[in-house]
Copies of this chain bind each other. A is one copy, B any other.
Amino acid sequence: MRIGILGGGQLGRMLAMAAHRLGLTPVIYAPGPGCASAATDQSRLHAWDDLAALDAFAESVDVCTFEVEHVPLEVVERVAARVAFHPNPSALIPTRDRLLEKRLLNNAGIPTAPYVDLADEEAARTLGDVVGFPALVKLRTGGYDGKGMAKVESAEQAVQAMRDLDAPCIAEGWVPWRRELSIVAARGGDGTIAFYAPAENTHVEGILRHSRVPAPHLSEADRLLLEAHTRRLVEQMDYVGVIAIEWFETEGGFVANEIAPRVHNSGHWTQDGAHCSQFENHIRAVASLPLGDTGSTGPSAMVNIIGQVPPLASVLALPRVAPHLYGKTARPGRKIGHVNLTADTDEALEALLAQTRAIVEAVTE
């Protein structure tokens, strides 16, 4: 079976490698050679708007998916009109627009931050009444890793932020969160749903730095609550594939922050800390195969490598580390790899995490 993957970054690369393992043939479509196409001899490297190439690609595969939601929607829709496609492209739309995303979450009974559609400057001038201050003004579409947003303390600042961002925005009330968690789930073509253990995520400057599983001090009841929320959402979306939801944990409970309709950075630990990785489960779901066991093998963590690769020998000298490097050019702020850690106890994991972070963060740019 030939599995088409739209997009040529590290998520596509790791999906391609999971497909290889299952004896499926990954076919990458991307605008140029990249770290995903390096992992297969079956790449189609053409512009997103090369419609003839895109159609030929669609004809050449049995089923298709995308690696990230940033692939142009019209590309996804064009391919999906020609070949089986998962997840359903319609599921993409709300996850590319913060306003629709909030509505989707609320419709599934999932709490979010209070928000207001900044349809015009009048809405910005009165947002304090709806969401209070401070508030976050965010681009409806296209923000990523902390970009495309501004914290505002007054109506005047909100209006200014709207003008600076210069594209449709929403405003969100400030959520006094204690920490961020995420849950990664897989839904098969037959409707089966499997959940990975929720991860606790630590960000710096809007970029995920490390995740840890199990999330410390997360009660069984809270884990089941996150699963129940996620289940309602994916069923409502009739979603097939792997999906991630980011959550803020607050004094008053959980608030959904973001939906990622794909394999997710906070699920990379599953490559070495779960019986079946998120990448393999996405491929299984897309190929209408039974899902694999999402159970954890033990305490596990993931440290992102950002900007620069640390001395590989120093990392590999640590016990039970699994580096996953993407073969990307180093550049400040760029995710170019991650290191997965496993241990037999939470204490051993904590110590290994500290050692790994010291090596990785010494060169982080």
Contact = CB atoms under 8 A, between A and B. Distances in A.
B21 A323 contact: yes
B342 A319 contact: no
A106 interface: no
A288 to B, nearest CB: 8
A22 B339 CA distance: 10
Nearest to A25: B327
Interface in A1-42: 13, 17, 20-25, 33, 37-42
A320 interface: yes
Interface string A284-302: 1000011011000100000
A316 interface: yes
Which of A22, A24, A276 has its CB near the most chain B CB atoms (within 10 A)? A22
Contact of A293 (B38, B275, B290, B320): B320
A337 interface: yes
A326 interface: yes
Interface residues of A, number: 40
A113 interface: no
Nearest to A298: B297
A358 interface: no
Interface string A305-335: 0000100110011011111111100000000
Indicate how many identical chains form the complex.
2
A43 interface: yes
B319 A290 contact: no
A76 to B, nearest CB: 24
A20 B38 CA distance: 9
Nearest to A39: B20
Given A17-B20, A312-B23, A327-B23, A38 B41 contact: yes
A342 B41 contact: no
A320 B327 CA distance: 30
Contacts of A323: 21-23
A181 B223 CA distance: 44
Contacts of A17: 17, 20-21, 39
A326 B25 CA distance: 10
A291 to B, nearest CB: 8
B292 A316 contact: yes
Across the A-B interface, the 3 shortest Cβ-Cβ residue pairs: A23-B325, A290-B316, A290-B317
20 contacts: A17-B17, A17-B20, A17-B21, A17-B39, A20-B39, A21-B322, A21-B323, A21-B325, A23-B323, A24-B325, A25-B38, A38-B42, A39-B39, A276-B322, A289-B312, A289-B313, A290-B313, A292-B316, A292-B322, A297-B297
